[in-house]
Amino acid sequence: MNLIDVNTMFSTDSKCRELLTRLRFPEGPRCLRCKAPVVLLETDKHLFYCKTCDYQFSVTAGTVFNDSHLPLEKWFVATLLICEAKKGISACQIQRTLGIGSYKTAWYLCHRIRAAMKEASRMLDGTVEIDETYVGGKFRKGIPRTEKQVVIGIRQRGGQLRLIHAADAKAKTVREILGDNLSEDVEVIITDEGTVYPFALNKQQRAKHKTIQHKKEYVSGLVHTNTAESAFSLLKRGIMGTWHNVSAKHLQSYLNEMVFRFDRRKNSDLFIDTLRHMVTAPVLTFEKLTA
Ligand SMILES: [Zn+2]
């Protein structure tokens, strides 16, 4: 799906709603309250009506689209632009490209799309590569204005990627993160020679641990962390090149966006898949986002 396709296929509000309805209710629209089948009212407001419990709702009710004044056509194009931007796209760029009135509206729009780009967690197994990186950290006249943030990357070879904003890179923190993400069935754990790993891994994990010496041998047979590093370099280019000032508070949501796109980089339905997530993800209010 490219920009021309999106502009042609989803050029009107009702065309957008038709797709969202199919994505939200693959087996036909149902009442949000009582799950009974509903009818589409013959008005221009595109409301569904449930006779059983006398309730009206739109296809976007209770989703990230909730209460938005932006036309759905703009939501669709913004979603495509975010899906297509391997290194991310700034709210400023979205504002200009779509002619959105205020930066705040564009920023909120991007965050709502991003909030839907989240995966249900599954434990990783097989061969996993673990690496850490540091992002952000601004200095002015030698005084740190913001601290560098730690991101732990875990990549199952041939499988999913995780990028986790960690409180720090201490063994206890890393151990908790690995506990939340690695299955007991994991076969091989590959890291660089970072001093934290011997302490962060538990006994069973240590037995499966292989390290790579970066300076001496970049790739030694199957023991490498190249896959995690390619995801990291994408992340760093995103943060440094596109988003500039990602605050610590929102870092995890940018990481989720990166991961969502990275895990689907060979998926030709990324746009539709993202919309499916958007029309099934819960409301994200501006108050909650900025709290
Ligand atoms: Zn009902």
pLDDT tens, residue by residue, 266-282 = 888 899 999 999 999 99
Ligand 1 centroid distance, CA of 147 (Å): 50
pLDDT higher at 214 or 262:
262
| Residues 6+ away with beta carbon under 8 Å from 200 | 171, 172, 174, 175, 178
Res 63: pLDDT: 96
Q: Give, in degrees to the nearest 5, the angle at Cα 259 between 196 and 76.
A: 160
Region 236-256: what's the mean pLDDT? Answer: 81
Res 247: pLDDT: 83
Query: Which of 90-104, 135-149, 199-213 ranks highest by mean pLDDT?
Result: 90-104
Closest CA to 6 of 285, 186, 275: 275
Secondary structure of 48-101 in the HEC alphabet? Answer: EEECCCCEEECCCCCCCCCCCCCCHHHHHHHHHHHHHCCCCCCHHHHHHHHCCC
Ligand 1 centroid distance, CA of 71 (Å): 27
Query: Which of 126-140, 171-185, 207-221 ranks highest by mean pLDDT?
Result: 171-185
| Residues 6+ away with beta carbon under 8 Å from 25 | none
What pLDDT band is residue 43 in, cutting at 50, 70 and 90?
A: confident
Region 22-37: what's the mean pLDDT? Answer: 96
First to last CA, the chain: 36
Ligand 1 centroid distance, CA of 284 (Å): 24
Residue 188 phi, psi dihedral angles, 5° rounding: -135, 135
Average pLDDT value for the chain: 88
Ligand 1 centroid distance, CA of 199 (Å): 55
pLDDT tens, residue by residue, 145-165 = 567 888 999 999 888 999 999
Q: Is the pLDDT of residue 83 over 70?
A: yes
Ligand 1 centroid distance, CA of 41 (Å): 14
Ligand 1 centroid distance, CA of 20 (Å): 19
Q: Is the pLDDT of residue 223 over 70?
A: no
Q: What is the DSSP string of 194-255?
A: -TTHHHHS-HHHHTTEEEE-TTT-S-BTTB--HHHHHHHHHHHHIIIIIIS---TTTHHHHH
Res 234: pLDDT: 76
- Quote the tokens at residue 234: 């994408």
Res 144: pLDDT: 57
Res 134: pLDDT: 83
Res 253: pLDDT: 92
Ligand 1 centroid distance, CA of 61 (Å): 14
| Residues 6+ away with beta carbon under 8 Å from 41 | 47, 48, 49, 56
Region 85-108: what's the mean pLDDT? Answer: 94
Ligand 1 centroid distance, CA of 38 (Å): 8
Ligand 1 centroid distance, CA of 39 (Å): 11
Q: Give, in degrees to the nearest 5, the angle at Cα 166 between 108 and 244.
A: 45
- Quote the tokens at residue 42: 């013959």
What is the residue whose two structure tokens read 């991007």? 110
CB atoms within 10 A of CB 287: 7
